[in-house]
Amino acid sequence: MVRPTRTPLQRIQDKGTGQDIARRFFYTFVTPSMITKQKYGAAWNMRDKTRKSFVMPIIQKYLSEWKAANFIDTSRIEIPITIERKNTKPYNLKSYGYLLNLEPLFSFCKIKEIEFSQEEKIFLKLLLLPDFTRNSILRWFPEVEKENDIITATLKYYARFCILRYSNMARDILENPGKYKKIIEHNKNIPKELINASSRLLKNIEKKYGMKSERIKSETFEVIKALAYKPHEDMFNAEDLLFRGYVSGISSKKTLVASCDRKIMQALGLGS
């Protein structure tokens, strides 16, 4: 029986080689030679050093398929990689780098009849494609864990550090407003006007807790916005930076973010 050809999307989800190569292309802009050197060190060391470069055929094959499917972004500048050659000095081979983008995620969702608008795609790309976010995704959801291909890992990461973090914080603020009043008032990074406004809102929440109203939701959001605020130079935590961008998105485009949240949860099988 002839084995059916795997699609570019399935290559990314395949456990083992496909999953590993996809994750390496998601980490940062890299060249096929760089991945060959990282993943197939023995073959790299045995290569014909008179040649300018060496790429394992399977890496070139997957990259070509993903490029054809529009799953790959190309770096704006060439990336140097040090090449050692037989009987001559090492030199830097410059080649354009490649990065796995979010199109595989959107294609995965489309198969589930979940489609993102162009504006939603732009918002998610701004949140999820910076280097520090991609590195954090790979760190929090390592390949060795079950079903953590890069698509599933990215969906889980957004759900955990955006949707769930916000909902848990909102609930805790309503249940423990006094605790957050102290946190905000003692945080020197938050501007004074935000501290004063949040303290007033928390006093209101203390008085009105238990009432289901849009005003309570609005006041809770203002407190979360203050909690998410830090000067950029003091922020080294990728998850905090992501959450700050997420909260900023809610502030300016609440409906769009709510739509993204709903679709992400649906893709994970956790929403209707």
pLDDT tens-digit map of 59-77: 889 999 999 999 999 887 6
Q: How many other C-beta atoms lie within 10 A of the C-beta of residue 192?
A: 8
The type of residue at 98 is: Y
Res 199: pLDDT: 65
Tell which residue, 190, 218, 219, has the closest CA to residue 203.
Answer: 219
134 compared with 196, residue with greater pLDDT: 134
Segment 118-136 shows an average pLDDT of: 94
Mean pLDDT across the chain: 79
| Domains detected in the chain | 1-101 (1.10.10), 150-267 (no CATH)
Residues near 250 by Cβ (< 8 Å), separated by ≥ 6? 166, 221, 257
CA 110-115-121 angle, to 5 degrees, is: 110
Q: Has residue 91 got a pLDDT over 50?
A: no
Sign of CA dihedral 72, 75, 79, 85: positive
CA distance 54 to 66: 20
Residue-level pLDDT at 158: 96
Of 164, 231, 166, the residue nearest 194 (C-alpha): 231
Residue 231 has pLDDT above 60, yes or no: no
